[in-house]
């Protein structure tokens, strides 16, 4: 029976999600420190964990299909065809995994907000450095002005 294998796969997925959560916490600190090189390195490491989780998810799906005979079997479907002890283990693993995914999702949302705020700050700084023209439409240089006509910083007649 593939129930013990399924429990092992879920355990591995739990550990991978925990490591990914640890990286997400590190990412928060790196974003706060504005360390772009560190962020690049962390993203590469994060991609490795995501690839491993995807591999384990495919294996979990395959084991669930073998266990239940259904093409799109879920963990709940698997719990219906295993022994009571395995059912309890699967339920515990399912709850742990759901909790870790929720925790990871919240941390990633925080990181996304921090990045968005950093981007807003950069855009504001850029706007201050190069202000927009006062008039968006063309008007004759002598119209609407009182006093002397506008002079350029550079004297083109010299």
CATH number at residue 34: 1.20.58
Tokens of 45: 């490491």
Number of compact structural domains in the chain: 1
Nearest CA-CA partner of 23 in 86, 103, 129 = 103
74, 80, 85, 86: CA torsion to nearest 10: -30
CA atoms of 39 and 52, how far apart (whole Å): 20
pLDDT of residue 153: 54
* 145 occurs within a structural domain: no
* 136 occurs within a structural domain: no
pLDDT of residue 127: 80
* 138 occurs within a structural domain: no
* 18 occurs within a structural domain: yes
Element (H, E) at 131: none
| Residue-number span of the structural domain to which 21 is assigned | 3-126
Burial of residue 149, with CB atoms counted within 10 A of its CB: 0-12 exposed, 13-18 middle, 19 or more buried? exposed
Q: Are 39 and 31 in contact (CB under 8 A)?
A: yes
- Which pTM value belongs to this model? 0.76
* 118 occurs within a structural domain: yes
The pLDDT > 90 percentage for the chain reads: 58
Instruction: Read off the pLDDT of residues 92-143 as tens digits, 9 standing for 90 and up.
Output: 999 999 999 999 999 999 999 998 988 888 888 888 787 666 666 666 666 5
* 73 occurs within a structural domain: yes
pLDDT of residue 150: 55
């Amino acid at each position: 029976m593939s129930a013990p294998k399924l429990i092992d796969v879920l355990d591995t997925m739990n550990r991978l999600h925990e490591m990914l959560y640890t990286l997400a916490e590190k990412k928060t600190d790196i974003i706060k420190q504005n360390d772009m090189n560190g962020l690049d390195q962390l993203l590469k490491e994060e991609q490795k964990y995501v690839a491993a989780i995807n591999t384990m998810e495919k294996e979990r799906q395959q084991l669930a299909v073998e266990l239940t005979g259904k093409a799109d079997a879920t963990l709940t479907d698997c719990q219906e065809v295993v022994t009571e002890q395995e059912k309890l283990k699967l339920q515990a693993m399912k709850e742990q995994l759901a909790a870790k995914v929720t925790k990871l999702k919240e941390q990633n949302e925080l990181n996304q907000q921090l990045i968005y705020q950093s981007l807003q700050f950069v855009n504001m700084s850029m706007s201050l450095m190069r202000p927009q023209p006062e008039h968006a439409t063309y008007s004759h240089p002598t119209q609407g002005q009182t006093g002397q006509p506008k002079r350029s910083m550079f004297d083109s007649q010299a």
